[in-house]
Amino acid sequence: MAERRRESQALFVISVAAELAGVHPQTLRIYERRGLIMPYRTPGGTRRYSQEDLDRLALIQELTEQGLNLEGVKKVLELRERVVKLERELSKVKDELTAAEDQVDREIAKVHRSYRREIIPRRQVHPDVRRRLRDLFE
């Protein structure tokens, strides 16, 4: 399913993608060899680029213009992907924590509701039990 979605979004052939990104097609091939970008490949092997790929190319250009070499760019991209992954995991853990807190609140409410059934008014306590309790606490 993810591959099918990726295929449907990969609209641009290498020459169009290069022109849109403002780079030479050979630059895109170099970026691919270095693992900076991974365009969709058709069954015939043709590279197809998506808008997401073009956005990534813009980021690569921005980082290289700031003085990073391609290895530095690769590290930045890996760290960004890791941050996104960790944010997703954190969100999932927060959701699980919220669910656990809700469950605890429900259990506490259940216990509180049970108090009414367990509390016996003093006048209903047998006189012998009242006497023993009085003896214990005096």
pLDDT in tens, 65-123: 999 999 999 999 999 999 999 999 999 999 999 999 999 999 998 888 877 666 666 66
Give domain status of residue 60, yes or no.
yes
pLDDT value of residue 129: 74
For the cut 60, the answer to whether the pLDDT of residue 60 exceeds it is yes
Residue numbers of the domain that contains 117: 94-137
Q: 84 lies in a domain?
A: no
Note the pLDDT of residue 1. Answer: 47
Kindly state whether residue 83 falls inside one of the protein's structural domains. no
Q: What is the count of structural domains for the chain?
A: 2
Whether residue 35 is contained in a domain is answered as yes
Instruction: Look at residues 33, 39, 34, 37 and name the one whose alpha carbon lies nearest to residue 14.
Output: 39
When comparing pLDDT for 71 and 131, which is higher?
A: 71
Residue in 7, 25, 8 with CA at minimum distance from that of residue 16: 25
What confidence tier does 8 reach under pLDDT thresholds 50, 70, 90? low
Model pLDDT, residue 112:
80
Say which CATH number the domain at 54 has. Answer: 1.10.1660.10
Q: Which helix (H) or strand (E) holds 132?
A: helix 127-137
Q: Distance (Å, rounded) from C-alpha 83 to C-alpha 77?
A: 10
- Of 67, 82, 109, which residue sits at a domain end? 67
How many CA atoms, within 13 angstroms, populate the side-chain half-sphere of residue 132?
Answer: 5
Same-domain status, 63 and 110: no
